[in-house]
Structure 1
Amino acid sequence: MKTLLLHTSLALCALSSLQSRTWTEAQTGRTLEGDFVSVQGSAVVVRTGNGGTLQLPLARLSEADQTFVKEQATASTKPAATRTEEKEAGKDDVKKQLIGTWDGFMADSDGSKHGDIRLVITADKITASNPQGDRAMGAGTYKITGKRIDATGTEGQFAGKKYEGIFDLDSKTLKWCSANDNPNSTRPTKLQTNPQAGQFLMVLEKK
């Protein structure tokens, strides 16, 4: 009876449009798409495309599925201190990628080039200048939280001003979109210049 119920569930859930992990029943090869939710005893709870959940007996799943579930269960039981350390390590990795000299431009709302800018980023400071003549603009400190970056001006035209932003970073390209220093400006949700909202985008390449 249990086997029949499992087969029926697999057949129904295979119709789901949710694209996530593919779970496989070891003996029959039947599959379903669903998100890992938790482990309850000897079963894994999976959320399907229609928003419902199923409990799949671990013993009936493929070896790869069982390994995946064990890894998820281990990760969820890590001490809070360990998870905090991992987050801090992630921040350090991002900072290491940020450190260096970045040349690029301020972007208009259509993405076109508006003006040149150079950022020199260290572990705790950002210095901005216009590379045309290397004219200093100012400097400040910064803080990273996930994909957010908040800067506080300490020198030059930025002194005493705060800039809340978001960023996207790969090995050589940094896209940083920030609210300007107007108190009515809010943190951007898109990497796009929006003059009406007081948000500006910088596109930079690492030298």
Structure 2
Amino acid sequence: MINDTLAEFYMMSGKFSDHNDFKNKLSDALSQGNKIVQLKNKGVIDSDEYLELANIANSVCLQFNAILLLATSVDIFQQTNANGLHLNSYALSEHLERPVATNKLLSISCHTLEEMKLAEKFSADIILLSPVKATSSHPELEGIGWQQFSQMIKQVSCPVYALGGMQVTDLNDAKQVGAQGVAVSSLWK
């Protein structure tokens, strides 16, 4: 399913040297028209630092009218003003009900149809399905390819972004098989 209010590109934060560099890289990416960003927690030292980054990101996203999703725990998320929470399917399975209010977005990363169905049960607003292609971040996983991706997304009713080995140039392929768009970290420079 395509949601006209969601962007085609789902950007994930990448490396940065300090908070100022983080703010500059986020501002640069959003100034290019990107409208969804996930603040990843990889490389972040502790929850206090993550909260600082989330506050910086929230301020920048407000300036650009962009959506901020936090890849963190529900406890940390609730201490912020972010637009939504991103969880992997394992973290989602630890909950008995939707972990965020319905006025906040819930984004879930999935690898199987079973995980996608679980995300749908929790009324996920966004699913990231991966890996579509082989990726260096998960070399143990083989890409599912566009055909299987297409078959899987037809079985859920929420928007699905292609993830795993994706580049900006994969957008047309993703859209042709019914994806909302692509989730990429290459927009972070």
TM-score grouping bracket, smaller chain normalisation: under 0.3
**Larger strand fraction of residues:** 1
Determine which structure has more spread, i.e. the larger CA radius of gyration.
Answer: 1
Which fold has the larger relative contact order, with Cα–Cα distance below 8 Å and residues 6 or more apart in sequence? 2
Whose helix fraction is larger, Structure 1's or Structure 2's? 2
